[in-house]
């Protein structure tokens, strides 16, 4: 292999000593403990390049697993810069995409066709909803989310529906939770998926384990094919993922894992931190490398992160450091209310933009729960600061897109029950829900594929013979197109001849035009897929698999390049920003009230805070409110215990806003420990509360003011009308203000802005 000498030398010279040790390690188990901002992606990339370039490893014999397609594509591109186009032959991708690829090759061993459908979360919920209805169960008790999470949890622990139903502990737990039919739903769900030739996301891992367990010849084939197995973000793996990769690396023992136990924050998705904590027990001969130099953040941010995480007992010891300067102190905003917290954050962002020319795209606001975004959004809008929220409805979840994709899916796999239900009366064919249910039930009762029922509809629902016959004929025409043509030609034919495109085009409303343009954009995506020279398989089935395995990170294609990013801390994992605002630093919010029941849960919350802090490169802002609306009521809040775990020398307390002067509220809000010391040292002696209305404040007409309305006063702030006195010449309103208590105002003089 002839390579440019600059590529051959430069990437090794760019590494520090621990990074170099990880890249140059020849064979055997290797664990790279990578602190935040320590260049783990560079190390993993160069290690793969080095295996190819200097150890002569065939790229086809390297398996590299990530958690997002975006990360895999970035790594492949970097490797290609060093070793050339050979990098395209590496088995690299997400766990789900790589294992789906293996399952396509070996599907017949498990009784599936190679063109099996991959159900997304909405498909799974829809099927569960139908099963709950068929069993005449209460859908308020057996909620699709709850049921799916229970089934997902079982599959991630490799518990089949048979094992689930035979386990008295699970049966007892379900009975105690008043969902005794959970096992039966799991059974029917699994059987219906199999009958529909469909796998959900968890099945891609579960069935790969079954494949390797029951077919040792297949396991042996892949064990010898992959001489090197590398796993990124190892701390996020679940039991199923670890077992598969451990089996695949059992022959050659070249198992390289990269991760940071301090950033293990996905237990709610099944991630098991014990995988990384116990790696040395499973592989006692493993070579351990610690990447402890942080290249991302300032010294103060790194030290704050270290102070936080040292309070966790379950961890692999390391001391992250940086040669960067100390930078700014971490600024803490103490707000009277959540609305004022939003205003303080928005004002700070505005100041950073105007005075320091920090671009909006370089700033992020992170919160524990999505509900916190409301006050922040209102404050940002008032100051005309553009923003984007990560975690909204993705392109591929829009109704019109799912409709056309369902047509594609059914043409490829006529056993796909969920796709059939979605398209059979779309556009309308006069087939009601009752008729659809009859077709599905007939297929299930007679143990027949749905397609066979449709082809022989006269035997099942005679009155539908004409309309269903036309539908069957159309699907057969589409199947011919799929066989003859590439994905784009086939997709265009289906979109045009199904009637969907025509129906959307006929809708001349703004919404209708947007939906039509979205479908056109989908066809553009198919064309882009077909034109990609790296895609060997140009079929519609291959395109559908790629779409089914996209993650939220892969579908965010916003064109606005200068917007502040708002997102949950979980969504921020793997990202970095110049300035980061972590809001809602209060007890029972962060750490969450739901995570205070055990030490393990609390330590996961602390790791989540660690992740939030280490997203910042230059400036970190923390904020908390003394009063916050939660569940429709104003609640007095205490500062988070995590603030108390930070050495006060790294904090700068912002006192531009003061807490409520009412004694009972002040008493509840008093922090203790190190955070309290920083307040005592820096706080002024006297504090008073003054409301600062926004620039757009203008008094409303109070003629229609009524009890229960929310209002704003230029001095007293926000409040709720508790009583109206309209007797006599002067109208009065009794208002309970959030920060100054109850006051009675004469409406002819009071300047009130009505907020609803």
The pLDDT tens digits of the residues spanning 553-573 come to 555 544 457 899 999 999 999
End-to-end CA distance of the chain: 71
Give the model's confidence band at 688: pLDDT under 50 very low, under 70 low, under 90 confident, else very high: very low
Look up 17 and say whether it is catalytic: no
pLDDT of residue 560: 52
The residue from 8, 41, 74, 635 that is catalytic is 41
Q: Which residue has the higher pLDDT, 695 or 178?
A: 178
Residue 700: pLDDT band (50, 70, 90) is confident
Residues 288-307 have a mean pLDDT of 95
- Residue 435 scores a pLDDT above 90: no
Mean pLDDT of the region 354-365: 93
Q: Which helix (H) or strand (E) holds 280?
A: helix 279-282
Query: Residues, the chain, total?
Result: 756
State yes or no: is 664 an active-site residue. no
pLDDT of residue 95: 93
What is the predicted pLDDT for the residue at 381? 85
Question: Of 615, 617, 619, 641, which one is the catalytic site residue?
Answer: 615
User: Among 656, 650, 675, 653, which residue's Cα sits nearest to residue 328?
Assistant: 650
The whole-number pLDDT of residue 3 equals 40
Please identify which of the residues 232, 586, 604, 712 carries the catalytic annotation: 232
> Span 307-322, mean pLDDT?
92
* Distance, CA of 217 to CA of 324 (rounded, Å): 53
- Buried b / exposed e across 146-179, counting CB within 10 Å, b at 16+? ebbebbbebbbebbebeebeeeeebeeebeeeeb
**Active-site hit among 106, 123, 203, 233:** 233
Query: What region, left, alpha or beta, does residue 419 occupy, with left being phi > 0 and alpha being psi -120 to 50 degrees?
Result: alpha
Which tens digits make up the pLDDT trace of 456-478?
887 777 878 888 888 999 999 99
pLDDT at residue 670, as a whole number: 52
Residue 542: is its pLDDT beyond 50? Answer: yes
Per-residue pLDDT tens over the stretch 705-729: 888 888 888 888 888 888 888 776 5
Query: Would you state the pLDDT for residue 209?
Result: 96
**217 has catalytic annotation:** no
pLDDT at 336 over 70: yes
Q: Based on the residue annotation, tell me whether 633 is a catalytic residue of this protein.
A: no
* Average pLDDT over every residue of 38-49: 92
Q: pLDDT over 90 for what percent of the chain?
A: 53
Q: What number is the average pLDDT over the span 434-440?
A: 84
The answer to which of 532-536, 685-689, 707-711 has the lowest mean pLDDT is 685-689
pLDDT range class, residue 411, cuts 50, 70, 90: very high
Contact call for residues 361 and 562 (beta carbons, < 8 A): yes
Structure confidence at residue 632 (pLDDT):
54
Number of Cβ within 10 Å of residue 517's Cβ equals 12
Residue 536, pLDDT above cutoff 90: no
**pTM across the whole model:** 0.76
- Check whether 675 has a pLDDT greater than 80: no
Band (392; pLDDT cuts 50, 70, 90): low
- 511 versus 277: which is more confidently predicted? 277
Q: Which of 208, 235, 245, 263 is catalytic?
A: 263
Which pLDDT belongs to residue 312?
Answer: 93
In the numeric block, the tokens 């109208």 are attached to 731
For 290-318, b/e burial (b = at least 16 CB within 10 A) is bbbbbebbbbbbbbbbbbbbeebeebbeb
Percent of the chain predicted with pLDDT > 70 = 91
Identify the pLDDT of residue 748. 78
Q: What percent of the residues of the chain are helix, what percent strand, and what percent coil, each to the nearest 5?
A: 50, 15, 30
| Residue 563 bears catalytic tag | no
pLDDT at 6: 41
Q: 676: which 2 tokens? A: 């309290």
| Averaged pLDDT for residues 145-162 | 92
> Has 41 been annotated as catalytic?
yes
489-509 mean pLDDT:
88
**What pLDDT is attached to residue 524?**
83
Residue 65 predicted with pLDDT over 50: yes
């Amino acid at each position: 292999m002839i390579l440019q000498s600059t590529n051959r030398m430069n990437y090794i010279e760019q590494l520090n000593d621990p990074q170099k040790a990880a890249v140059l390690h020849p064979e055997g188990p290797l664990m790279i403990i990578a602190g935040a901002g320590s260049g783990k992606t560079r190390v993993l990339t160069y290690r793969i390049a080095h295996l190819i370039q200097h150890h002569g490893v065939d790229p086809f014999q390297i398996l590299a697993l990530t958690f997002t397609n975006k990360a895999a594509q970035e790594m492949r591109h970097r490797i290609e810069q060093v070793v050339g186009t050979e990098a395209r032959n590496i088995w690299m991708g997400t766990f789900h995409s790589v294992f789906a690829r293996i399952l396509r090759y070996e599907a017949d061993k498990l009784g599936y066709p190679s063109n099996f459908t991959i159900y997304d979360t909405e498909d799974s919920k829809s099927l569960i909803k139908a099963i709950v209805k068929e069993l005449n169960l209460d859908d308020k008790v057996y909620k699709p989310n709850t049921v799916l999470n229970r089934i997902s949890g079982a599959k991630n622990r490799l518990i089949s529906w048979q094992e689930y139903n035979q386990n008295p502990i699970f049966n007892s737990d379900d009975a105690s939770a008043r969902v005794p039919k959970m096992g039966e739903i799991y059974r029917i769900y699994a059987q219906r998926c199999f009958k529909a030739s469909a796998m959900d996301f968890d099945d891609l891992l579960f069935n790969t384990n079954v494949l390797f367990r029951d077919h040792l010849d297949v396991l042996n084939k892949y064990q010898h094919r992959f001489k090197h197995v590398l796993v990124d973000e190892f701390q996020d793996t679940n039991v199923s993922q670890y077992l598969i990769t451990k089996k695949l690396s059992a022959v050659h023992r070249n198992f390289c894992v990269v991760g940071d136990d301090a950033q293990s924050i996905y237990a709610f998705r099944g991630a098991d931190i014990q995988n990384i904590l116990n790696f040395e027990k499973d592989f006692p001969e493993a070579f351990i490398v610690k990447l402890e130099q942080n290249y991302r953040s300032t010294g103060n941010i790194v030290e704050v992160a270290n102070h936080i995480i040292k309070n966790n007992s379950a961890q692999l010891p390391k001391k992250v450091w940086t040669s960067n300067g100390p930078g700014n102190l971490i600024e803490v905003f103490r707000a009277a209310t959540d609305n004022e917290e939003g205003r303080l954050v928005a004002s700070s962002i505005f100041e950073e933009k105007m005075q320091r020319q920090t671009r909006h795209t370089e700033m992020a606001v992170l919160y524990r729960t999505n509900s916190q975004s409301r006050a922040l959004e209102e404050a940002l809008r008032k100051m005309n600061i553009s923003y984007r929220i990560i975690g909204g409805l993705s392109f591929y979840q829009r109704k019109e897109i799912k409709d056309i994709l369902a047509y594609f899916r059914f043409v490829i796999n006529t056993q796909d029950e969920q796709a059939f239900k979605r398209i059979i009366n779309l556009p309308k064919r006069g087939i009601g829900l009752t008729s659809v249910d009859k077709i599905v039930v007939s297929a299930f009762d007679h143990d027949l594929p749905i397609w066979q029922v449709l082809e022989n509809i006269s035997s099942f629902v005679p009155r539908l013979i004409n309309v269903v016959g036309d539908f069957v004929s159309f699907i057969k025409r589409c199947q011919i197109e799929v066989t003859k043509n590439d994905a784009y030609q086939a997709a265009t034919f289906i979109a045009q001849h199904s009637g969907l495109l025509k129906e959307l085009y006929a809708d001349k409303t703004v919404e209708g035009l947007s939906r039509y343009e979205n479908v056109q954009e989908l066809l553009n995506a198919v064309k882009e897929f077909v034109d990609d020279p790296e895609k060997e398989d140009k079929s519609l089935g291959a395109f559908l698999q790629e779409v089914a395995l996209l993650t939220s990170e892969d579908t965010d294609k916003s064109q606005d390049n200068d917007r502040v990013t708002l997102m949950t801390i979980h969504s921020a994992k793997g990202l970095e920003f110049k300035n980061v605002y972590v809001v809602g630093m209060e007890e029972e919010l962060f750490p969450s009230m739901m995570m205070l029941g055990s030490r393990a849960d609390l330590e996961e919350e602390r790791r989540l805070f660690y992740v939030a802090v280490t997203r910042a490169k230059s400036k970190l802002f923390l904020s908390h409110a003394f009063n916050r609306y939660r569940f429709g009521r104003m609640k007095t809040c205490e500062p988070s215990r995590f603030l108390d775990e930070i050495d006060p020398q790294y904090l700068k307390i912002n006192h531009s806003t003061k807490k409520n002067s009412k004694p009972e509220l002040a008493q509840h809000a008093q922090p203790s420990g190190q955070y309290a010391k920083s307040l005592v040292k820096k706080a002024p002696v006297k504090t008073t509360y003054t409301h600062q209305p926004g620039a757009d404040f203008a008094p409303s007409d109070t003629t229609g003011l009524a009890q229960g309305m929310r209002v704003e006063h230029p001095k007293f702030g926000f409040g709720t009308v508790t009583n109206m006195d309209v007797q006599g010449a002067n109208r009065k309103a009794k208002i309970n203000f959030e920060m100054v208590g109850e006051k009675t105002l004469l409406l002819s003089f009071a300047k009130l802005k009505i907020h609803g």
